[in-house]
């Protein structure tokens, strides 16, 4: 929906700085940019108009303007709350979903955030009580970062704006780098950029301007009711999942602008298309992205599109174009987390030409047990945690403890961690739950918000498109999380319950086929001249590389290309390559133009092939 930024400064306000910050993330909200200040607080807002485009301006205030609010996201229960607030005497000036927030705060104080049903990252300034409140939605669909310096406290939807802070010097958080290479995401509050923290999902931050300090506390936790519905039959669960899912899709069709659905051809996105098509009066627009690789789901995407007669759009990206786009993608994603962001970036680009809102299937794998790595976990529940952790890291295609010990420089080795982290340990120690449900809980609370949701939000918002994720409706998540793991994974069969729930809605091949996910171009890339490009780049940036890695270990990875499938040196080299590009963008600045941060990447981004000839070539 938008981008939010703000600053609480000891020496007063700085509208010029916050205006620059807003400009830097104006891709999140090209329709309107606003900066306001009062006392020590400056708020900035970049608007993507979706609900009540003509009005709905932010910041939003209460009747006496003692409360100011900026909000990124959507509040799906705003109409019901609006009716209740009106009965209590509150007055509204627009139909914006976010307008309920200051009024709910007046009635409920900090507890208001627990009543919001939606995806959001918000800031609320209470002038009377001299405090600033930040809050993030329960499952972390919308990002929110903060930075504290000697001058003050800053927050933003994207942490690239902190590069504009005069007193801040960017560098690598070495602990976070170790976590990133292990888990392909950074658990907890740490970020790869030093000093930057992320507000965790379901948490609220209260900054006391009088005392000049802040506290953070949770307002939401994934329900802890292990096996509560163990006696429920899978038939009953199937019906309940169908009902809850349809309701989740229905409320996410709320929009005053055109919307569409990402259709990869897999079960998850196909389920969203099916539910949306059954509830809309018109055929939904659907979008498919293909990245050059031997595996393609295009025939399945077309099968679903034909089944529901959608307005379908296809886009193709050749592997040799990827090196040109990586730095641009890195600028938007802000952390080098995986290869899937490249497909997502182009998906956002394709969608932006047609719609402002896109529904997608993100979250279903973590909720229903869709990843292949869950299958051995489910069948090896008696193994000790250290073995389970090792297998989990390998399943993520991360670097194990031993591999990182060999890869690191002497300085980075000081930050070498195990194959686990405090959040994974806590999940595995929970009593009365199966190992699979423990891992799913970890993925829902850490891996999902710090990896997949960050990717989807930032790379669709890079093109001013809002992504909505119906599988992560809190009511659906609470129900499915409490079900037995046998409803989710059985032997080598994944997402058992979801397949049953969608069996009467989708063609048989969609239900029966194995999961691909977004196509992975990495192996194909290293069969092209990209391998030499990567090798040459590492050598040219050897001084940077040796700060973090053993150059001999990297050379060994290059020599291992094509030799066996377990080590997958191509994937590991690509992750190191992504880190190098990230470093050049965010730390040493060699890939940005300091004179104009909002346009710092002067890359010739090749346009996406969407011609009829390209589509014909794709189907050969």
Task: Report helix, strand or coil for 141.
Answer: coil
Q: Where in the chain is the domain with CATH 3.60.20.10?
A: 2-218
Nearest to 296 by CA among 524, 564, 573, 504: 524
Tell me, what's the pLDDT at 49? 76
Name the architecture of domain 223-323+344-381+465-517+610-620: 3-Layer(aba) Sandwich (3.40)
Res 281: pLDDT:
82
Q: Residue 417 has what pLDDT?
A: 93
> How close are the terminal C-alpha atoms of the chain, in Å?
39
Residue 446 DSSP label: I
Is the pTM of the predicted complex or chain greater than 0.85? yes
Burial class (CB in 10 A: 0-12, 13-18, 19+), 600: middle
Q: What angle do CA 468, 250, 258 make, to 5 degrees?
A: 60
> Which pLDDT does position 495 carry in this prediction?
94
Task: Decide: 291 and 280 in contact? Cβ < 8 Å.
Answer: no
Which residue, among 518, 449, 456, 500, has the nearest Cα to 477 in the 3D structure?
449
pLDDT of residue 516: 59
* E strands present in 157-299: 196-198, 203-208, 213-218, 259-262, 285-291
- Closest by CA to 146, choosing from 115, 182, 190, is 190
C-alpha–C-alpha distance, residues 182 and 197, integer Å? 19
Give phi and psi for 257, each to the nearest 5.
-135, 165
CA 32 to chain centre: 24
Task: Quickly tell me which residue has 């961690």 as its tokens.
Answer: 417
The encoded tokens of residue 304 equal 């679903």
Judge contact between 388 and 423, C-beta under 8 A: no
List the CATH code of the domain at 2-218. Answer: 3.60.20.10
Give per-10-residue mean pLDDT for the chain (620 aa).
92 93 94 90 89 75 94 94 92 89 96 97 97 98 97 97 96 97 94 98 97 96 68 92 97 88 94 95 87 70 96 74 77 82 83 91 95 75 74 80 95 94 87 87 94 93 95 96 91 92 96 66 80 93 96 94 73 92 91 48 32 32
Strand ranges, E, within 318-447: 357-359
- 468's CB contacts (< 8 A; 6+ apart) are 74, 119, 252, 357, 358, 359, 360
Q: How far apart are CA 203 and CA 580, in angstroms?
A: 32
Both tokens of residue 352?
A: 């932006």
Q: Residue 344's pLDDT is what?
A: 86
Tokens of 89: 């005497």
Kind of pairing, strands 213-218 and 203-208? antiparallel
What is residue 600's predicted lDDT score, i.e. its pLDDT? 36
Query: Which part of the chain has CATH 3.40.50.620?
Result: 223-323+344-381+465-517+610-620
Give me 326's structure tokens. Answer: 């990586």
Specify the pLDDT at position 611.
30
Q: How far is CA 53 from CA 18, 79, 257, 280, 612, in A?
A: 24, 16, 8, 21, 34
pLDDT at res. 176: 97
CB atoms within 10 A of CB 397: 16
DSSP 8-state assignment for residue 540: H
Q: 122 Cβ partners below 8 Å, 6+ apart?
A: 4, 69, 70, 71, 72, 73, 98, 101, 113, 133, 134, 135
Q: What is the pLDDT of residue 363?
A: 96
User: Using only C-alpha atoms, what is the Rg of the chain?
Assistant: 24
- 611-614: long-range pairs with CB below 8 Å, 24+: 614/316
């Amino acid at each position: 929906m938008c981008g939010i930024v703000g600053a609480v400064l000891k020496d007063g306000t700085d509208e010029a700085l916050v205006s620059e910050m807003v400009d830097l993330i104006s891709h999140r909200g090209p329709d309107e940019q606003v900066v306001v200040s009062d006392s020590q607080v400056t708020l900035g807002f970049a608007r993507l108009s979706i609900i009540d485009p003509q009005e709905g301006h932010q910041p939003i205030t209460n009747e006496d303007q003692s409360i100011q609010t900026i909000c990124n996201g959507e509040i799906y229960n705003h109409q019901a709350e609006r009716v209740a607030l009106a009965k209590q005497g509150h007055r509204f000036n627009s139909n914006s979903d976010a307008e309920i927030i200051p009024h709910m705060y007046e009635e409920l104080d900090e507890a208001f955030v627990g009543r919001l049903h939606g995806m959001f990252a918000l800031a609320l300034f209470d002038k009377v009580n001299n405090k600033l409140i930040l809050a993030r939605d329960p499952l972390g669909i919308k990002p929110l970062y903060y930075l504290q310096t000697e001058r003050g406290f800053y927050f933003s939807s994207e942490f690239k704006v902190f590069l504009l802070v005069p007193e801040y010097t960017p560098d690598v958080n070495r602990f976070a780098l170790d976590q990133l290479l292990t888990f392909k995401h950074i658990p907890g509050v740490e970020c790869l950029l030093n000093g930057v923290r992320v507000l965790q999902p379901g948490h609220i931050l209260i900054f006391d301007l009088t005392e000049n300090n802040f506290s953070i506390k949770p307002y939401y936790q994934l329900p802890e009711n292990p096996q509560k519905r163990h006696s429920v039959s899978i038939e009953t669960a199937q019906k309940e999942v169908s009902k809850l899912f349809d309701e989740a899709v229905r409320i996410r069709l709320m929009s005053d602008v055109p919307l569409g659905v990402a259709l990869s051809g897999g079960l998850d996105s196909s389920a969203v298309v099916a539910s949306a098509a059954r509830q809309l009066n018109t055929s939904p627009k659907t979008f498919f992205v293909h990245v050059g690789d031997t595996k393609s789901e295009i025939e399945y995407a077309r099968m679903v599109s034909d089944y529901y007669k959608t307005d379908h759009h296809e886009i193709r990206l050749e592997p040799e174009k990827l090196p040109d786009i990586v730095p641009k993608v890195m600028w938007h994603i802000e952390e080098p987390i995986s290869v899937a962001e490249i497909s997502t970036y182009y998906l956002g680009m394709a969608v932006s030409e047609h719609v402002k809102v896109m529904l997608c299937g993100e979250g279903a794998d973590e909720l229903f047990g869709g990843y292949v790595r869950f299958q051995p976990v489910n069948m090896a529940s008696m193994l000790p945690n250290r073995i389970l952790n090792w297998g989990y890291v390998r399943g993520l295609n991360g670097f194990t403890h031993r591999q990182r010990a060999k890869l690191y420089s002497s300085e980075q080795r000081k930050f070498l961690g195990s194959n686990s982290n405090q959040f994974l340990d806590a999940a595995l120690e929970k009593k009365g739950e199966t190992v699979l449900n423990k891992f799913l809980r970890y993925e829902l609370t850490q891996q999902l918000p710090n990896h997949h949701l960050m990717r989807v939000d930032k790379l669709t918002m890079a093109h001013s498109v809002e992504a909505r994720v119906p599988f992560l409706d809190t009511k659906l998540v609470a129900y499915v999380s409490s079900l037995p793991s046998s409803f989710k994974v059985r032997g080598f069969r994944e997402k058992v319950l979801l397949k049953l729930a969608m069996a009467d809605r989708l063609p048989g091949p969609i239900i029966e086929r194995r999961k691909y996910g977004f196509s992975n171009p990495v192996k194909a890339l290293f069969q092209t001249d990209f391998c030499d490009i990567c090798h040459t780049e590492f050598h040219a940036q050897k001084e940077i590389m040796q700060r973090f890695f053993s150059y001999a270990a990297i050379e060994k990875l290059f020599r291992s290309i094509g030799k066996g499938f377990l080590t997958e040196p191509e994937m590991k080299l690509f992750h190191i390559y992504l880190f190098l590009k990230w470093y050049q963008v965010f730390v040493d600045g060699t890939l940005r133009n300091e004179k104009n941060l909002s346009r710092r990447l002067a890359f010739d981004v090749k346009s996406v092939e969407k011609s009829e000839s390209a589509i014909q070539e794709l189907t050969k």
